[in-house]
């Protein structure tokens, strides 16, 4: 039907069937994720949709029959009778189509709000405060002096200018300078070399992205307030996950090419709406940043998704270990999961200046939540079309990584020791005045 969008059409095909057959599971999943959605209302609307659709299709069939009778009529009187019948059919069908259009509009809004069901191993909880620590790595540095935070260290070394950043770009604006820039480029190049050895296809993705990939990945309509929107109706992406998932939109992939692994660099933009005053110090939470993202499309297997999820997170852990920065891993509770995530890990780095851990990476898997919306499929061994499974994980974000790196490797004289693996890219062992 013309009034259905492509996304709406695909959710009719399969998602609603799963919802109807697993109603209590879907309700429990929404409750665990703290997502408010009226699933009973959705099912009621779906009943109306099915009834009206059947009725409209029957009227169309009848209309086709009357059209044939008009064409075959042997005299004008009989033709006029059939024409009057056709006019009555059109009037009734127009009324039913308008009602169907209204029902589908509300149905579609609710369909887009239904969250994916979280894995049974996801802990209960309301927010990130309820995430559970599952692993700790590294020794927290013990300084024989009063450690400084990254803003004081980097300002003293002329690596950042936050005041002029705010003057030019507004709240959370910044200029990286001199060795702040060199250190960022060193991290990027090292990350490309480190992750590039693990079978990824390297890409640079656009940050200006049409609406459809945002809806398909689950960032719209729920997170619209956190997105920058252009005057042309596109949005600025906050992660390379969005454009990369749109890369294979409406495609049928070859199973032998799965899993597809992408390592994607992009500029990222987030309004941080509702986060005023939260983590505002220095480079911890900014509006514009850079990120290298791992994105995977795999076969439709829960076991494969679980294995790839662990592999992605392990990649980033090993990268952080090579830098020598202490961290821990938490499994996210239900209330801290996004709409489409089945399960998520966060890696949080130790920040000495705050005596706490700060998130640096998230690794998630989605089953076919995103690919169903984006119509990314492949043919299985029996030739049957299946929706692929999707996963993603941060490889490394800048400038946030600088916060922990600078603070953990600070020296009493105000200098910074450069991690050994970065020295070939920096051309020196330390940053000092």
- Which neighbouring-strand residues pair with 389? 298
Backbone angles phi, psi at 270, to 5 degrees: -140, 135
**CA–CA gap between residue 403 and residue 149 (Å, rounded):** 8
Instruction: With H, G, I as helix, E, B as strand and everything else as coil, classify residue 197.
Output: coil
Residues 6+ apart with CB under 8 A from 54: none
What count of Cα atoms within 13 Å lies in the side-chain half-sphere of residue 239?
Answer: 21
Structure tokens at 11: 């959710």
Residues with a known catalytic role: 270, 285, 359, 362, 400
Backbone angles phi, psi at 80, to 5 degrees: -65, -35
Closest CA to 305 of 261, 395, 366, 369: 366
Instruction: With H, G, I as helix, E, B as strand and everything else as coil, classify residue 235.
Output: strand
Q: What is the dihedral of CA 218, 219, 220, 223, to 10 degrees?
A: 130
Structure tokens at 359: 């998130």
Q: Which stretch of DSSP H or E encloses residue 346?
A: strand 343-351
**CA–CA gap between residue 4 and residue 282 (Å, rounded):** 46
Sheet with 385-387: strands ordered across: 252-253, 377-379, 385-387
- Which neighbouring-strand residues pair with 228? 236
């Amino acid at each position: 039907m013309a009034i259905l969008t492509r996304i709406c059409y695909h959710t009719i095909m399969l998602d609603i069937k799963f919802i109807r057959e697993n109603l209590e599971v879907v309700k429990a999943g929404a409750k665990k994720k703290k997502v408010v959605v009226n699933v009973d209302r959705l099912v009621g609307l779906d009943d109306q949709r099915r009834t009206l659709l059947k009725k409209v299709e029957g009227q169309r069939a009848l209309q086709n029959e009357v059209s044939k009778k008009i064409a075959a009529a042997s005299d004008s009187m009989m033709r006029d009778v059939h024409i009057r019948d056709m006019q009555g059919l059109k009037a009734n069908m127009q009324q039913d189509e308008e009602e169907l259009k209204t029902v589908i509009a509300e149905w579609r809004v609710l369909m887009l709000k239904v969250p994916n069901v979280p894995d049974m191993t996801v802990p209960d909880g309301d927010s990130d405060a309820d995430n559970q620590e599952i692993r700790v790595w590294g020794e927290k540095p013990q300084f024989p002096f009063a450690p400084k935070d990254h803003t004081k260290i980097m300002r003293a070394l002329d690596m950042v200018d936050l005041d002029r950043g705010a003057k030019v770009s507004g709240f959370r604006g910044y200029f990286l300078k001199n060795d702040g820039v060199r250190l960022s480029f060193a991290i990027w190049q090292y990350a490309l070399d480190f992750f590039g050895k693990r079978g990824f296809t390297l890409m640079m993705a656009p940050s200006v992205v049409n609406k459809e990939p945002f809806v398909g990945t689950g960032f719209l309509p729920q997170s619209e307030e956190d997105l920058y929107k252009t005057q042309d109706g596109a949005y600025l992406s906050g992660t390379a996950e969005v454009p990369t998932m749109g890369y294979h939109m409406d495609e049928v992939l070859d199973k032998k090419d799965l899993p597809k692994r992408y390592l994607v660099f992009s500029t990222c933009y987030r309004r941080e709406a509702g986060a005023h005053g939260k983590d505002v110090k220095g480079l911890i939470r900014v509006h514009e940043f850079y990120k290298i993202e791992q994105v995977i499309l795999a076969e439709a297997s829960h076991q494969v998704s679980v294995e790839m999820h662990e592999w992605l997170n392990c990649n980033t852990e090993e990268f952080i270990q090579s830098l020598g920065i202490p961290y821990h891993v938490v499994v996210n509770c239900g209330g801290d999961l996004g709409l489409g995530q089945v399960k998520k890990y966060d890696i949080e780095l130790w920040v000495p200046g705050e005596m706490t851990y700060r998130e640096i990476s998230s690794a998630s898997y989605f089953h076919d939540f995103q690919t169903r919306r984006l119509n990314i499929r492949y043919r299985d061994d029996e030739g049957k079309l299946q929706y692929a499974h999707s996963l993603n994980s941060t490889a490394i974000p800048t400038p946030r990584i600088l916060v922990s790196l600078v603070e953990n490797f600070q020296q009493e004289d105000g200098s910074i020791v450069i991690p050994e693996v970065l020295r070939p890219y920096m051309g020196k062992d330390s940053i000092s005045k």
